[in-house]
Amino acid sequence: MIVIDKSKCVRCGACMRDCIVHVLTKGEDGYPAFRKEDERFCLNCQHCLAVCAHGAVTCNDVGFGETLDVEQIPDGRAEAALLRQRRSTRQWRDDPIPEEVWTRLVDTLAWMPTGCNDHRLHFTIVRGREKMDWYRREVARTLQKLVRTRIPQILFPKFRRYMAEIMRGDDVVFRNAPCMIVASTPKKAPCREADPWIALSYFDLLAQANGLGTCWSGFGVHAFKGMRGIRKALNMPRGYEVGAVLLFGVPAVEYARVPHPRPMSVEVQ
Ligand SMILES: Cc1cc2nc3c(=O)[nH]c(=O)nc-3n(C[C@H](O)[C@H](O)[C@H](O)COP(=O)(O)O)c2cc1C
């Protein structure tokens, strides 16, 4: 339900123009009118609310009072430097993550874009080495049992190096990280493939911009999909599946230089 406060509305039409599903149309008096019959199409994206400079819009009970002030964002140069300089971290310090950074990281998750603005994404955050060690032990136990059957060596000969590391007790799945965030979605979410990766990509950049190290765990995704015990420990809502896993913590490595990667193939048409 979108409510327009006519005492504040200047009839500029900005809310109507920015409504992707056209639930706001011009009424006979020139004020935006909410089409009740089309309410089901509203994505609750709050563009109508955000674009209104006069505080005239209330979108699904959220009004001007709950919106945030627009702040300075990093300029293009700083953002490009962040993208070039973010590295995967696999060496960690046991220093605690400052509370202020925790709060910023966790609170910002609500702003992650999702297909159809589906806010049913679920995040499980495992905070601290002790809790991570439980996942490490469970995964190592299962993987070592599996490697001992010698079946993985036949099925996945390319991964033999990892199998040797697993048998040696190396943590190839969680890379000894002190923390992890797992993003999961309902199995029938409209963009279940993309949403978790996008959300954690943003989290990745934000974490690195706040001085933390991060590392994707593709192996972690497979581990959660294949191992019921650790999956259950994530406490995901019923009907959810794991989408993406990102490890993070205070890094114990600093990079003096920016690598020079092989260019990706780009075609501009
Ligand atoms: C989808 C995806 C899955 C990944 N899975 C793992 C993983 O399981 N373990 C790991 O150590 N690194 C993993 N990585 C990190 C890549 O190895 C790393 O991004 C790449 O080597 C480039 O290094 P950089 O991130 O420092 O630039 C993954 C990265 C991506 C994008």
Express each pLDDT in 220-260 by its tens digit. 999 999 999 999 999 999 999 999 999 999 999 999 999 99
Binding site membership of 122 for ligand 1 (Cβ less than 6 Å): no
How much distance in Å is there from the Cα of 176 to the middle of ligand 1? 15
- Give per-residue pLDDT as tens, 130-187: 999 999 999 999 999 999 999 999 999 999 999 999 999 999 999 999 999 999 999 9
The model's confidence at residue 112, banded by pLDDT at 50, 70 and 90, is: very high
Ligand 1 neighbourhood includes 215 CB (under 6 angstroms): yes
The residue nearest atom 31 of ligand 1, judged by CA position, is 216
> How is 36-60 classified by DSSP, letter by letter?
GGGGGG-----HHHHH-TTS-EEET
The pLDDT value recorded for residue 2 is: 96
- Report the C-alpha gap between 136 and 224 in whole angstroms: 12
State the Cα–Cα distance between residues 174 and 247, nearest whole angstrom.
7
Q: Where in the chain is the domain with CATH 3.40.109.10?
A: 76-251
Sign of dihedral through CA atoms 226, 227, 230, 232?
Answer: positive
Phi, psi of 214, rounded to the nearest 5 degrees:
-140, 160
pLDDT tens per residue across span 39-61:
999 999 999 999 999 999 999 99
Kindly report the protein residue whose alpha carbon is nearest to atom 20 of ligand 1: 88
Return the number of other C-beta atoms located less than 10 Å from residue 79's C-beta: 13
Residue of minimum CA distance from atom 18 in ligand 1? 88
Q: How many CA atoms lie within 13 A of 114 on its CB side?
A: 25
The answer, yes or no, to whether any atom of ligand 1 lies below 6 A from the CB of 240, is: no
CATH of domain 2-66: 3.30.70.20
* CA-nearest residue, atom 28 of ligand 1: 216
User: CATH assignment of 76-251, given 3.10.290.20, 3.40.50.2000, 3.40.109.10, 3.40.50.300?
Assistant: 3.40.109.10
For ligand 1, is residue 217 a contact (CB within 6 Å)? yes
- In angstroms, the CA 100 to CA 93 distance is 18
Q: Count CB atoms within 10 A of the CB of residue 78.
A: 11
For residue 212 the two structure tokens come to: 């933390």
Cite the residue boundaries of each domain of the chain with CATH code 3.30.70.20: 2-66
> 58, 67 in Cβ contact below 8 A?
no
Q: Angle at Cα 226 formed by Cα 221 and Cα 230, nearest 5°? A: 75
Q: Which residue has the tokens 């702003």?
A: 111
Distance from Cα 171 to the centre of ligand 1, integer Å: 15
Q: Is the CB of 216 under 6 A from ligand 1?
A: yes
Helix, strand, or coil here: 262? coil
Instruction: In whole angstroms, give the CA distance from residue 26 to residue 16.
Output: 7
Which residue owns the Cα nearest ligand 1 atom 23? 88
Atom from ligand 1 closest to the CA of residue 259: 27
